[in-house]
Amino acid sequence: MLQFKFVLIIIVCIIFSCFVFSPAAAAKKRCKPLLEKLHNVQSLQRNSYSGKRGLSLRDREDKARNNWWQCENSSAKAKQKTKGKGNKKSKKNTVSGNIQVKRVKSKKINAGTPFKTSNAIVIRSKYQGQRKQAWLKYYQQPNQCSRPKSLPVFAFCSENKQTQRLDFEKHYNK
């Protein structure tokens, strides 16, 4: 009876040690610094940054993720090879297989090109021809409206121009 208990304890210890000291657990410990590096880069991305810094952080995140993923799956690849031919279909659908997840990198946008077209930009005024000449003679811009320094002054100038335009249209149509 004592021998049976002793054998049972040894078997339980062997099974327990297989789970605790498995290659997957060793891989987790080995890959933990890479995962922490990935989390660190992701936390940097959550802060504010410039466009150039954003591209740099994206590249760092991609490299950190790839390193961590390769570390995590290095022991899994050894297991897949030992299993044989039955696992080929599932391997193709995983990220560790032949198909790699690729991020689309954004193109750099120059700040000096606000439009995506090279066509000419045509700005037409409200009046054309003789009516425009009559409007330019009629409109009297207040001195403070030549370069408005504040929003209330700009609003006053816009309203003044609108009232003068309405008066002009009444007189011109008669």
> For the chain (length 174 residues), average pLDDT per consecutive 10?
73 70 66 88 83 87 90 65 51 47 55 63 80 91 90 93 92 82
Q: How far apart are CA 159 and CA 65, in angstroms?
A: 58
pTM of the model: 0.33
Residue 37 belongs to domain spanning: 13-81
Contact 31, 71 (CB under 8 A): yes
Q: How far apart are CA 44 and CA 24, in angstroms?
A: 29
Residue 123 lies in a domain: no
The structure tokens listed for 167 are: 């008066």
75-81, long-range: CB < 8 A, 24+ apart: 75/23, 75/24, 75/26, 75/27, 78/23
**pLDDT at residue 91, rounded to an integer:** 45
Residue 56 lies in a domain: yes
Residue 27 lies in a domain: yes
Residue 38 lies in a domain: yes
Residue 89 lies in a domain: no
* Total domains present in the chain: 2
